[in-house]
């Protein structure tokens, strides 16, 4: 069976209207077979603890919830990615101890909201900084979903072909992200992965994203989650 991943990023009450549309439109195509990158306290102003109804909504709409940073905003310093993403690269600029604290805060909020900590992590702006899975700054995480691969503590690494349309402050960069996903998909062995953001709706990419999902389904791909994909990978490797 050929699989593909759908992960909705920037899932936060601050984007409740956009995520409602995303879940509504994806449901007839993939059901709950998608994952969400949840930000526990978006920009320091949207704590999950104050939005229990939204937490129930995203839990009911998806099969797997990932930790997507803590605030999704960089606290100090700057670099090219900071400028491109309006300081969305939260993990950049943090030392090892600060990384530990940020992940611990995120996991506490996650546990309070959903009854358990996140098993997976997807880095804000794809910048994982000093987040590792080698027993260091991992906050109990089992895997990291990256742009080019999903990496597990115990189940190895699976290469991905990621489409992403929110590539920074300029909307036209979404065409670059789409083209990169198509190019990566041309390589054998990479699992198609759609990184969907609330901004994709306002920037006009949503119809093309839905067509891509429909096209993958028509070609025999089945939607799954990172944990399920890694489980299959472990069984095949064994």
- What integer is the mean pLDDT of 203-223? 98
State the DSSP string of 119-144.
SEE--GGG--TT--SSSSTTTT--EE
Query: Which domain does 230 fall in, by range?
Result: 2-237
Positions of E strands within 128-226: 143-145, 149-152, 157-164, 191-196, 221-224
Say if residues 74 and 82 touch (Cβ distance below 8 Å): yes
Q: What are phi and psi of 172, to 5 degrees?
A: -65, -20
Number of domains in the chain: 1
- H-helix or E-strand spanning residue 199: helix 199-202
Q: What pLDDT digit, counting tens, does each position of 12-65 carry?
A: 999 999 999 999 999 999 999 999 999 999 999 999 999 999 999 999 999 999
Residue closest to 137 by CA, chosen among 102, 90, 99:
99
pTM for this prediction:
0.95
Q: What pLDDT digit, counting tens, does each position of 61-88 carry?
A: 999 999 999 999 998 888 889 988 999 9
To the nearest 10 degrees (0 to 180), the angle between helices 206-218 and 16-30 is 20
Say if residues 166 and 200 touch (Cβ distance below 8 Å): yes
CATH of the domain at 96: 3.20.20.370
């Amino acid at each position: 069976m050929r699989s593909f991943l759908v992960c909705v990023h920037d899932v936060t009450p601050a984007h409740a209207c956009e995520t409602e549309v995303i879940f509504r439109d994806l449901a007839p195509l993939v059901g709950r077979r998608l994952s969400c990158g949840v930000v526990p306290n978006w920009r320091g102003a949207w704590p999950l603890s104050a939005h229990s109804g939204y937490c129930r909504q995203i839990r009911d709409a998806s099969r797997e919830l990932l930790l997507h940073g803590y605030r999704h905003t960089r606290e100090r310093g700057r670099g090219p990615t900071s400028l491109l993403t309006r300081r969305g690269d939260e993990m950049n600029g943090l030392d090892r101890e600060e990384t530990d604290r940020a992940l611990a805060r995120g996991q506490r909020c996650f546990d309070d909201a959903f009854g358990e900590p996140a098993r997976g992590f997807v880095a804000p702006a794809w910048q994982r900084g000093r987040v590792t899975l080698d027993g260091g700054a991992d906050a109990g995480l089992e895997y990291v979903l990256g742009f080019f691969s999903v990496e597990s503590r115990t189940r190895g690494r699976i290469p991905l072909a990621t489409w992403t349309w929110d590539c920074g402050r300029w909307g036209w960069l979404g065409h670059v992200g789409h083209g990169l996903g198509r190019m990566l998909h041309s390589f054998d062995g990479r699992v198609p992965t759609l990184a969907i953001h609330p901004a994709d709706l306002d920037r006009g990419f949503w119809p093309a994203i839905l067509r891509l999902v429909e096209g993958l389904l028509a070609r025999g791909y089945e939607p799954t989650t990172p944990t399920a994909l890694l489980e299959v990978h472990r069984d095949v490797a064994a």
